[in-house]
Amino acid sequence: MSQRNTHDTQSASPFDSLVGQPLVTAFLKAAVAEQRVSQAYLFVGPVGSGKTEAAKALAKALLCVQEGCGSCDDCRRVARQTHPDFHLIEPLGVDGYLAEQMRELIHDATLAPIRAKKKIYVITRADLLRGVPANAFLKTLEEPGSSVAFILMSRTRDSVMETLLSRCQIVAFRRIPQKEAVDLLCSLTNSSEKEARIALAVTGDSPHRAYGYLRSSTRRNTRMMVIEKIERLSDSDDLEVLTAAKELLTAVKALLDEARIQQEQQLIDGRDYLSKTAMNALERRLKRELSSRERELIYEELAVVQSWLRDCLLLRAGQPDELINTDCSYLISQTASRVFESNLVRALKAVDRAKEQIHYNVSVQLAIEVMLFSIREELT
Ligand SMILES: [Zn+2]
């Protein structure tokens, strides 16, 4: 999240983009300014609190010759995760990090940096670093070598092995309160409070993702399209329901194309520094990212459906002040006036089932079709 255009002033700090975390920002800024950046941090905080943003900001501050100007090639590569001295390491195993993955990291950490004076490794799920891979890594974490810094990340402190924890300086990120997240989004994107609340509702209350949503007219239009489809379900025949399901998926595919274009740039960047093996690994990572992005966008559509049905329920319960989708209140009141609460509750359950099925890798198209048929039954 960028609080200001990084090109507009010389004194811009990479930490300015860290919204809603004043203590963390002050702490990391001071560490950089006083040249006492620790070689091992553990960033702890809930989803959406900005840990990855902070890790990237710190990496920019350490890898860019201007301490994170935001506009040089080093800064841009950190942002795109294609800087050869900045590594974001996701667990590759089903249950966590693989021994082989950590062996590779340990070896890589002994090599000199490629472009900058330092190398930075981010372990994105320190809670999933356990057993043999964790033990192999302990010595490196304790004595990383002067040019290496590690940033471990976890949602909670207790889920991280004590032996890892004790070797890191802990930086606690707070959960950003809803009211504050709304205010922040309004000031960052010039959105209204209503729009900011909608954005948080459809992105699982993640301020960072809500920011992305507000900046994307395609995603905002997709929301309107989803609401229209749901609203029309009660008058749709079977073929129209199937077409609606198809259109929901087509919208996701169109949004994915934007991500694909960004990935192409990452591959171009990668070719400058990476070996064939590393390029293959990058391609695999991008593929994984694309499918998790696809899932995220589908969940976003489902969240729109959920939020709309919930609004219908709230209206029936006589709580109009609590509505999220206030820009569609007319449609909501129409549905609320003719559909019973029990039906709305069952329609909501159909959305939950679809989510669960997608989570368990049922065909997305099938899950959405079944969901739409169930909702139609309840709303008719
Ligand atoms: Zn820079």
Tens of pLDDT, residues 34-51:
999 999 999 999 988 889
Percentage, residues of the chain above pLDDT 70: 97
Sequence-separated (6 or more) residues with CB below 8 Å from residue 265: 80
Are 374 and 237 within one domain?
A: yes
**How far is ligand 1, taken at its centre, from the CA of residue 39, in Å?**
21
Are 246 and 357 within one domain?
A: yes
Q: What is the mean pLDDT of residues 318-344?
A: 94
**How far is ligand 1, taken at its centre, from the CA of residue 311, in Å?**
45
Are 226 and 357 within one domain?
A: yes
**How far is ligand 1, taken at its centre, from the CA of residue 76, in Å?**
7
**How far is ligand 1, taken at its centre, from the CA of residue 64, in Å?**
4
pLDDT tops 70 at residue 370? yes
Whether the Cβ atoms of residue 39 and residue 18 lie closer than 8 Å to each other: no
**How far is ligand 1, taken at its centre, from the CA of residue 60, in Å?**
6
pLDDT tops 60 at residue 7? no
**How far is ligand 1, taken at its centre, from the CA of residue 74, in Å?**
5
Residue at a domain's end among 144, 172, 200:
172
Q: Which residue has the higher pLDDT, 270 or 191?
A: 191
Are 158 and 25 within one domain?
A: yes
Please report which confidence band the pLDDT of residue 285 belongs to, taking 50, 70 and 90 as the band edges: confident
Whether the Cβ atoms of residue 303 and residue 204 lie closer than 8 Å to each other: yes
**How far is ligand 1, taken at its centre, from the CA of residue 50, in Å?**
20
Domain count, the chain: 2
Are 39 and 144 within one domain?
A: yes
Is 149 exposed, middle or buried, given 0-12, 13-18 or 19+ CB atoms closer than 10 A? buried
Q: What is the mean pLDDT of residues 15-22?
A: 84
Helix (H) or strand (E) holding 313: helix 276-316
CA dist 68 and 57 (Å) reads 7
Report yes or no on 201 lying in a domain.
Answer: no
pLDDT tops 90 at residue 2? no
Are 161 and 29 within one domain?
A: yes
Q: What is the mean pLDDT of residues 111-129?
A: 95
pLDDT tops 90 at residue 292? no
Report yes or no on 75 lying in a domain.
Answer: yes
pLDDT tens, residue by residue, 80-103: 888 999 999 999 888 899 999 999
Are 156 and 20 within one domain?
A: yes
Report yes or no on 31 lying in a domain.
Answer: yes
Residue identified by tokens 């860290």 is 18
pLDDT tops 60 at residue 311? yes
Please report which confidence band the pLDDT of residue 226 belongs to, taking 50, 70 and 90 as the band edges: very high
Please report which confidence band the pLDDT of residue 75 belongs to, taking 50, 70 and 90 as the band edges: very high
pLDDT tops 50 at residue 157? yes
Sequence letter at residue 93: G
User: For residue 307, what are the domain limits?
Assistant: 216-379
Instruction: Tokens for 196, please give them.
Output: 């900011």
Report yes or no on 196 lying in a domain.
Answer: no
**How far is ligand 1, taken at its centre, from the CA of residue 331, in Å?**
49
CATH number for the domain harbouring residue 30: 3.40.50.300
Please report which confidence band the pLDDT of residue 107 belongs to, taking 50, 70 and 90 as the band edges: very high
**How far is ligand 1, taken at its centre, from the CA of residue 293, in Å?**
27
Q: State the average pLDDT for the chain.
A: 92
**How far is ligand 1, taken at its centre, from the CA of residue 13, in Å?**
10
Report yes or no on 239 lying in a domain.
Answer: yes
DSSP state, residue 111? S
DSSP string, 40-90: EEEEE--TTSSHHHHHHHHHHHHHSTTS--SSSHHHHHHHHT--TTEEEE-
CA dist 150 and 163 (Å) reads 15
Are 309 and 361 within one domain?
A: yes
**How far is ligand 1, taken at its centre, from the CA of residue 9, in Å?**
13
Are 221 and 160 within one domain?
A: no
CA dist 142 and 134 (Å) reads 12
**How far is ligand 1, taken at its centre, from the CA of residue 337, in Å?**
56
Are 159 and 231 within one domain?
A: no
Report yes or no on 182 lying in a domain.
Answer: no
Are 48 and 108 within one domain?
A: yes
**How far is ligand 1, taken at its centre, from the CA of residue 12, in Å?**
10
Report yes or no on 92 lying in a domain.
Answer: yes
Please report which confidence band the pLDDT of residue 207 belongs to, taking 50, 70 and 90 as the band edges: confident
Are 352 and 240 within one domain?
A: yes
Q: Which of 25-39, 87-101, 280-294 has the lowest mean pLDDT?
A: 280-294
The pLDDT assigned to 10 comes to 44
The pLDDT assigned to 11 comes to 57
Report yes or no on 30 lying in a domain.
Answer: yes
Residue at a domain's end among 114, 144, 172:
172
